[in-house]
């Protein structure tokens, strides 16, 4: 997720594709929910495949403080969203796809 540029988002599906076998979109979401390095490791840049915001640290309701933080972080980075009914959706031009082939490097972060 650190490869996703500021002002852009990607999806749980995209991340699972890049990580390969053994990683489902749901398992990506579960791992990101436990991200102790946010927002340095920018899990807020991951949304659902339909470009709706999904969750943030387990919260999914827009009125929740965690989700408000996700919205604020994305807006500060320049991500454009639109409201449809009771959900926010990222505009298509802000969606980022990983390259088809990508070399992944392990990043070692300090313990929390």
**Closest among 5, 104, 93 to 45, alpha carbons compared:** 5
Other Cβ atoms less than 10 A from the Cβ of 106: the count is 4
The continuous run of DSSP H or E covering 10 comes out as: strand 10-11
What is the C-alpha separation between 54 and 48, in angstroms, rounded? 5
H-state helical runs in 1-112? 12-19, 25-33, 65-76
Catalytic-labelled residue, pool 2, 43, 61, 94: 43
Please say if 94 is a catalytic residue.
Answer: no
Active site residues: 43
């Amino acid at each position: 997720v650190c490869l996703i540029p500021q002002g852009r988002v990607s999806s749980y599906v995209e991340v699972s594709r890049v990580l390969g076998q053994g990683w489902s979109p749901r398992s990506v979401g579960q791992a990101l929910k436990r991200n102790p390095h946010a927002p340095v490791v920018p899990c807020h840049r991951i949304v659902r495949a339909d470009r709706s915001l999904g969750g943030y640290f387990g919260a999914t309701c827009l009125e929740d403080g965690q989700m408000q933080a996700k919205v604020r972080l994305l807006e500060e980075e320049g991500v454009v969203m639109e409201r449809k009914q009771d959900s926010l959706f990222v505009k298509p031009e802000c969606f980022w796809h990983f390259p088809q082939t990508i070399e992944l490097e392990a990043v070692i972060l300090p313990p929390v």
